[in-house]
Structure 1
Amino acid sequence: MPREGLLPAMPRAKGIVNSGLIPSLVRKLHREEESIQEILLDTLAACLQEDATEALNSRVVPFLKEKLLSPNEIIRCKAARTLIAHPSGGQEAVIPILVHLLRDPVEEVQANAAGALMYATVTTEGKYAALDAEAIHPLLGLLVSSLQKARLNAIKALTMLAEAPEGRKILKAHVHTFRVLEAEPGEAVQRAAEVAIKVIEWKP
């Protein structure tokens, strides 16, 4: 099943992975013009859903980090979306950039950055890197986004941060916001808000 915020896997993704072409795709991100970079990022996202091993071996994260800083909003958006497909681990270096992108002028970029943070904060290291980068307040800001995907990704990322005592302490003052989201028409958002409240209110 595709990860949140991604397009369905491309039919040829499996063939690309099996042919060992991922390292070549990653290297091309440096050299190709932007229209080709967009296609490469879409392809990499689909390939990562099939198998992330080769991408990890190709050090894809530093290349994606560079694309997250692109002045081209489509490149930023697709780079963040590709990180959603990337397994947790090794992403701590891009967390400050992802937090910065939570305030991007483009809502789709914000939504994908929140989605990437959701996966990057699965690990303890990721949680504390996000807390150090002060991710909580911009994520809270996305809870009123006009994009359901942004709201959903933000709730899930905040739930991850609430698993850390420091994050839980900050978020206790915002439980009412999640209770409002429990009444939202979208079932996915309702369920995510319910889980978030349980994690925030959990007592050891």
Structure 2
Amino acid sequence: MPRPRKFVESDVVSSAGEVFAAHGLAAATLDDLVRATGLGKQSLYNAFGGKRELFLRALSEDREEATRAVSEALGHEDASALEQIRGHMLRLAIELSSSDRRVSLTTRALVESTGEDDPLSTATKAGIEQLAEVYAQCLEHAREDGDLPDDANVQSLAVYFVAVTRGMELLGRAGVGRAVLTAVALDALRALHGQRMEAADGSPSLRE
């Protein structure tokens, strides 16, 4: 009897994540996963339980990576909280307009989630909450610094920024250019205190 092939789970999850990011959960096939991971179908089932379970594993890794990236972007002590958010949003406008950037699994899950009480929807909501908490902490610092009104709803604003950034990601994937994504980012920032943070020469069209 041949010995079972050894593999590194983290490598398999990472490779599967690339497949899911490219195709989504529904469209990705077991054959796609077999080609990407180098494991047979039975091995994938034995190790992870199935396609959906493997997606959830990859989604968990993606969620932690996304949270870590936002935490690092908003963790510079040499800038005010609002300056950190501004820099973060403008960098995202550049990064998300790249034609070769893949959609994150967090955003894929958000699009494919049914909203029902199932593991995918539960994991998706957990990802939103985790990202929102990072924004909320930064916005709370802004309120403490006097850059936001005392009655600002920090939690609501945090979820708002999650929604805007996920939307920017989908727009970038659809081919919307940097100029439009930058305008979206700046408009989101203006919503923090109801005034223009940067003069605009005009609103770019979706074709720019």
TM-score, normalising length from structure 1? Answer: 0.32
More relative contact order, 1 or 2 (CA 8 Å, 6+ apart): 2
Higher alpha-carbon Rg: 2
TM-score, normalising length from structure 2? Answer: 0.31
